[in-house]
């Protein structure tokens, strides 16, 4: 395998509702920023890959218009996944592994605010047996949370602690949307919105975008003084139906973590894409992260969760900790689908480890 | 670091038709995948990863349907990627799958592309917004017709060229049992007299709307060596450019020329008309055959229509295009690009049945999408490449 590193990361200031700018206007400043940080123009980028979903944009081929933000003239080698940007990064990493590219631009965006996200996400379900019932994403997560509590995997008290810790950490993150939190005891006095979930257990609906530049070997060292090297990356998918799998373990996250080599060394920081508090507990366990690991110091998805970009942001945030020398070894995680159906795990290290 | 070699050892396609009401979406993709696995003499357990592609999710009303299809495609516990690059997606999906093998990450990858267009009305979804213009809601034909007009004006091509292409492809489709359209009483007159939809495009010069899927099993070099009749990947590339910018040539887009040049360089092709034995090229509207003949370097600019008129692209011509009947005879949009890639591989494997070109050794598979702005191509051969 070639050594590939994250050499630049940029993200938008995430908001509840981006009303002034369309998708291309939202993504363009982020693309300009990440290229400026890397000191590259588009002609120096060998491969470009993006992630988006038409169901958020409300139009078919929505990625076609955001290509206008890239500067794809003269024509570029480019691809797109209808998935979180973390999987776009995976495709770009594979492309670099083939030797056909030394540098890659990855970007993703999600503007969830124009539609009713809970309804929109029901369209992600089995169209014959589940989607006609319109079970919304929060209700399904609540079923999972209930199963986890009954299995002794977590408790509403622990979940409230996850929420408070995440949003307090977000106070140090200028890009986060929700910053600061009441004490867990106060949070637990709030009413349930889908038992056992309370509002604080759920990620906020967020609009935002993010971009990363990858580079291989010496090219990475030329671009960055402190590249965050990808030491392992893997993704796996579970059965779709929530009745077909044990909701109290994230089996595909565990498998991806094994394949990515999370356990091969100590982990300083983990950025986990867990849009519900109980899911952080589940993913932490699936990845085998001990109590000493700093989880979601950025605030994580509970502080800002622009769908489709949020997984990519986890990789960017983890890489940032490495590049700033705040961590020697970091783990980033991304998820997709109902109740953690699909999971990606990426292990990053600095140059000295 | 050099790329690992890639072989196509299994190919499957559904029976394409207007409505496959007999199968679910899961059933549709399984029909193609199971045929590909049987061809490869493999089972689901032999597959390391699944790469799936399709055009917009709105076509079937399922958001990110790979999540639901994970079970149907035996992907549970495996990596699964979902590609979407507009009309070129079937080709791009195969190339992403190939890159997993080229990179040495996986040995055996199942790649699938599909569309079940009967679930919706593609006309609306295919109406791309044009900046500063009212929406036409005229579908892809409405978008492409002015560019075809521009081609006719530039090249001086006579009006009947489009009719000739449509007639050829629909006649070829009779030799392909999988094709959607098997038109009775097909003749030059029947095409010419069909309804004018988007001048100069007639009804019979326009692709159908189909339900269908295509699948391939790609392996590493060892897998190809063990197979009886593999197709070897000789080169592959993707290119994209924006829909609109000042000076853009929509008739002969730079992206298509660059993409072809990249594939030819990898495959050692210097004269496409001489070096390529057969091509499956994405021609959803008749006139795109002469246009792409020029864009892909088979003809000088302005003279692609002469190859059509001479019959060079017919099955008995020197460079047969779309022996399968092409997109003009079957168009499950998300799968159409992969069908081109798979049909190219079938030809060099000698397994194209009645539409086989005898002795085909090098074949081109081509796909394009968006406003002629996304391109995916590969060249495959019957002989293992030396480098």
**Tens digit of pLDDT for each residue in B336-377?**
999 999 999 999 999 999 999 999 999 999 999 999 999 999
Q: Pairing mode, if any, of strands B7-13 and A329-336?
A: unpaired
In a domain, A36, yes or no: yes
The CA R_g of chain A, rounded to the nearest whole Å, is 19
What mean pLDDT do residues A231-239 have?
A: 98
A311 and A336 Cβ atoms separated by less than 8 Å: yes
**Residue in the structure block whose two tokens are 């983890």:** A318
Q: Which of A24, A33, A84 is nearest to A341 (CA)?
A: A84
Distance from CA of B358 to the nearest CA of A (A): 33
| Contact A95/B at CB under 8 A | yes
pLDDT at B1: 44
Distance from CA of B160 to the nearest CA of A (A): 33
pLDDT category at B133 given cuts 50, 70, 90 is: low
CA dihedral B146, B147, B149, B153 (to 10 degrees): 140
The answer to whether residue A131 scores a pLDDT higher than 70 is yes
A213 and A105 Cβ atoms separated by less than 8 Å: yes
**Run of H or E residues at B214:** strand B211-219
Give the CATH number of the domain where residue A212 resides: 3.40.47.10
A72 and A42 Cβ atoms separated by less than 8 Å: yes
| Structural domain boundaries enclosing A62 | 4-115+205-225
In a domain, A170, yes or no: no
A37 and A320 Cβ atoms separated by less than 8 Å: no
Q: Whole-angstrom Cα distance, residue A161 to residue A225? A: 37
Cβ contacts of A134 on chain B, cutoff 8 Å: none
Residue B242 tokens, joined: 């924006």
The answer to whether residue A212 scores a pLDDT higher than 70 is yes
Residue B217 tokens, joined: 């099993």
Q: Whole-angstrom Cα distance, residue B28 to residue B215? A: 11
The answer to whether residue A180 scores a pLDDT higher than 50 is yes
CA dihedral A102, A220, A232, A27 (to 10 degrees): -80
pLDDT category at B125 given cuts 50, 70, 90 is: low
Distance from CA of B250 to the nearest CA of A (A): 13
* Cβ–Cβ below 8 Å for A255 and B238: no
The answer to whether residue A125 scores a pLDDT higher than 90 is yes
A330 phi, psi to nearest 5 deg:
-130, 155
In a domain, A69, yes or no: yes
| Triad B223, B224, B225: Cα angle to 5° | 90
* Cβ–Cβ below 8 Å for B77 and A236: yes
Residue B16 tokens, joined: 């394409």
What mean pLDDT do residues B32-57 have?
A: 97
Q: How far apart are the first and last CA of chain A?
A: 17
* Cβ–Cβ below 8 Å for B128 and A128: no
Q: Whole-angstrom Cα distance, residue A258 to residue B3? A: 26
What mean pLDDT do residues A125-143 have?
A: 96
pLDDT category at B324 given cuts 50, 70, 90 is: very high
A325 and A33 Cβ atoms separated by less than 8 Å: no
In a domain, A310, yes or no: no
Q: Whole-angstrom Cα distance, residue B189 to residue B205? A: 12
pLDDT at B138: 75
Write the CA distances from B217 to A71, B45, B290, B345, integer angstroms: 35, 13, 32, 11
Q: How far apart are the first and last CA of chain B?
A: 12
**pLDDT of B141-174, one tens digit each?**
988 999 999 999 999 999 999 999 999 999 999 9
pLDDT at B3: 86
Q: Whole-angstrom Cα distance, residue A196 to residue B30? A: 38
**Residue in the structure block whose two tokens are 């089972």:** B43
The answer to whether residue A352 scores a pLDDT higher than 80 is no
**pLDDT of B48-96, one tens digit each?**
999 999 999 999 999 999 999 999 999 999 999 999 999 999 999 999 9
Q: Whole-angstrom Cα distance, residue A285 to residue A308? A: 24
Q: Which of A79, A136, A258, A340 to mutate to test the interface with B (most CBs of B within 10 A)?
A: A79
In a domain, A161, yes or no: no
Surface-to-core class of residue B194, CB atoms within 10 Å of its CB (0-12 exposed, 13-18 middle, 19+ buried): middle
Cβ contacts of A99 on chain B, cutoff 8 Å: 1-3
The answer to whether residue A348 scores a pLDDT higher than 90 is yes
Residue B222 tokens, joined: 């060892």
pLDDT category at A353 given cuts 50, 70, 90 is: very low
| Contact A90/B at CB under 8 A | yes
In a domain, A193, yes or no: no
* Cβ–Cβ below 8 Å for B77 and A234: no
Q: Whole-angstrom Cα distance, residue B338 to residue B319? A: 21
Q: Please state at what angle helix B288-295 crosses helix B139-155, rounded to 10 degrees.
A: 60
pLDDT category at B128 given cuts 50, 70, 90 is: low
**Residue in the structure block whose two tokens are 């970091």:** A330
Residue A325 tokens, joined: 């020398």
In a domain, A212, yes or no: yes
Contacts of A211 (CB under 8 A, 6+ apart): A9, A10, A11, A27, A30, A31, A33, A34, A105, A106, A107, A108, A312
In a domain, A136, yes or no: no
Distance from CA of A78 to the nearest CA of B (A): 6
Cβ contacts of A251 on chain B, cutoff 8 Å: 77
pLDDT category at B136 given cuts 50, 70, 90 is: low
Q: Which of B144, B95, B100 is nearest to B365 (CA)?
A: B95
Residue B73 tokens, joined: 């495609």
For the four alpha carbons of A58, A63, A64 and A66, in that order, the dihedral sign comes to positive
**pLDDT of B259-301, one tens digit each?**
999 999 999 999 999 999 999 999 999 999 999 999 999 999 9
A202 and A166 Cβ atoms separated by less than 8 Å: no
pLDDT category at A67 given cuts 50, 70, 90 is: very high
To the question of pTM greater than 0.95 for the whole model, the response is yes
* Cβ–Cβ below 8 Å for B79 and A234: yes
Q: Whole-angstrom Cα distance, residue A285 to residue A248? A: 10
What mean pLDDT do residues A125-134 have?
A: 96
Structural domains of chain A, count = 1
Q: Whole-angstrom Cα distance, residue B63 to residue B59? A: 10
pLDDT at A176: 98
* Cβ–Cβ below 8 Å for A73 and B241: yes
pLDDT at B130: 61
**Mean pLDDT over each residue of chain A, to the nearest integer:** 97
| Contact A100/B at CB under 8 A | yes
Q: Whole-angstrom Cα distance, residue B226 to residue B354? A: 26
| Contact A335/B at CB under 8 A | no
Residue B137 tokens, joined: 């809601």
Contacts of A36 (CB under 8 A, 6+ apart): none
The answer to whether residue B137 scores a pLDDT higher than 80 is no
What mean pLDDT do residues B187-216 have?
A: 97
Q: Helix (H, G, I), strand (E, B), or coil: what is residue A195?
A: coil
Contacts of A6 (CB under 8 A, 6+ apart): A212, A213, A214, A227, A228, A230, A315, A316, A319, A323, A348
């Amino acid at each position: 395998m070639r050594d590939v590193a994250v050499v630049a990361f940029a993200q938008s200031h995430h908001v509840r509702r981006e009303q002034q700018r369309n998708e291309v206007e939202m993504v363009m400043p982020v693309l300009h920023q990440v290229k400026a940080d890397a000191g590259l123009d588009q002609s120096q980028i060998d491969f470009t890959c993006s992630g988006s979903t038409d169901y958020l944009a409300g139009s078919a081929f929505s990625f076609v218009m955001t290509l206008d933000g890239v500067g794809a003239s003269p024509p570029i080698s480019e691809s797109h996944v209808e998935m979180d940007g973390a999987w776009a990064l995976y495709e770009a990493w594979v492309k670099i592994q083939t030797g056909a590219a030394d540098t890659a631009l990855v970007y993703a965006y999600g503007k969830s605010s124009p539609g009713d996200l809970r309804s929109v996400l029901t369209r992600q379900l089995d169209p014959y047996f589940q989607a006609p019932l319109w079970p919304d994403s929060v209700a399904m997560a609540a079923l999972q949370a209930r199963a986890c509590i009954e299995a002794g995997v977590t408790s509403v008290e622990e979940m409230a602690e996850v929420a408070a810790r995440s949003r307090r950490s977000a106070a140090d993150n200028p890009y986060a949307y929700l910053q600061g939190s009441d004490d867990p005891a106060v949070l637990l006095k709030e009413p349930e919105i889908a038992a056992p979930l309370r509002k604080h257990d759920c990620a906020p609906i967020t609009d935002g975008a993010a971009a990363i530049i990858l580079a291989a070997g010496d090219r990475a060292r030329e671009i960055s003084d402190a590249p965050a090297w990808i030491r392992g990356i893997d993704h796996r998918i579970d059965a779709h139906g929530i009745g077909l799998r044990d909701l109290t373990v994230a089996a595909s996250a565990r498998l991806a973590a094994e394949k990515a080599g999370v356990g091969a060394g100590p982990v300083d920081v983990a950025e986990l894409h867990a849009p519900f508090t109980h899911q952080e507990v589940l993913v932490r366990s699936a990845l085998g992260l001990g109590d000493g690991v700093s989880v979601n110091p950025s605030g994580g998805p509970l502080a800002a969760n622009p769908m489709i970009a949020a997984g990519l942001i986890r990789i960017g945030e983890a890489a940032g900790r490495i590049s700033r020398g705040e961590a020697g070894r970091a783990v980033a995680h991304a998820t997709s689908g109902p109740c953690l159906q699909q999971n990606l795990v990426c292990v990053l290290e600095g140059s000295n480890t | 670091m050099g790329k690992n070699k890639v072989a196509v050892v299994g190919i499957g396609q559904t029976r394409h038709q207007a409505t496959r009401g007999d199968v679910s979406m899961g059933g549709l993709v399984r029909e193609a995948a199971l045929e590909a696995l049987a061809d490869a003499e493999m089972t689901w357990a032999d597959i390391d990863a699944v790469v799936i592609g399709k055009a917009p999710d709105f076509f079937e009303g399922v958001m990110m349907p790979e999540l639901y299809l994970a079970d149907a495609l035996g992907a549970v516990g495996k990596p699964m990627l979902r590609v979407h690059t507009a009309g070129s997606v079937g080709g791009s999906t195969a190339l992403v799958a190939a890159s997993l093998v080229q990179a040495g990450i996986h040995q055996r990858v199942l790649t699938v592309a599909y569309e079940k267009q009967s679930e919706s009305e593609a006309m609306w979804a295919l109406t791309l917004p044009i900046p500063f213009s009212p929406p036409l809601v005229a579908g892809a034909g409405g978008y492409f017709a002015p560019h075809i007009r521009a081609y006719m004006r530039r090249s001086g091509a006579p009006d009947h060229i489009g009719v000739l292409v449509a007639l050829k492809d629909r006649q070829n489709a009779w030799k392909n049992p999988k094709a959607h359209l098997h038109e009775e009483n097909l003749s030059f007159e029947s095409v010419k007299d069909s309804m004018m939809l988007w001048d100069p495009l007639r009804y019979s010069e326009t692709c159908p709307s189909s339900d269908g899927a295509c699948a391939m099993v790609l392996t590493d070099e060892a897998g190809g060596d063990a197979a009886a009749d593999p197709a070897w990947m000789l080169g592959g590339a993707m290119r994209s450019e924006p829909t609109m910018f000042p000076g853009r040539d929509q008739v002969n887009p730079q992206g298509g020329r660059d993409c072809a040049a990249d594939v030819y360089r990898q495959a050692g092709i210097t004269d496409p008309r001489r070096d390529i034995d057969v091509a499956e090229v994405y021609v959803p509207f008749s006139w795109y055959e002469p246009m792409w003949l020029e864009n892909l370097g088979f003809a000088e600019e302005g003279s692609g229509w002469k190859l059509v008129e001479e019959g060079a692209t017919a099955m008995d011509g020197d460079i047969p295009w779309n022996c399968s009947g092409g997109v003009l005879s079957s168009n499950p949009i998300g799968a159409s690009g992969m069908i081109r890639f798979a049909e190219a591989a079938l030809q060099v494997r000698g397994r194209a049945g009645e539409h086989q070109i005898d002795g085909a050794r090098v074949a081109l598979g081509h796909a394009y999408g968006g406003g002629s702005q996304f391109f995916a191509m590969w060249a495959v051969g019957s002989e293992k490449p030396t480098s």
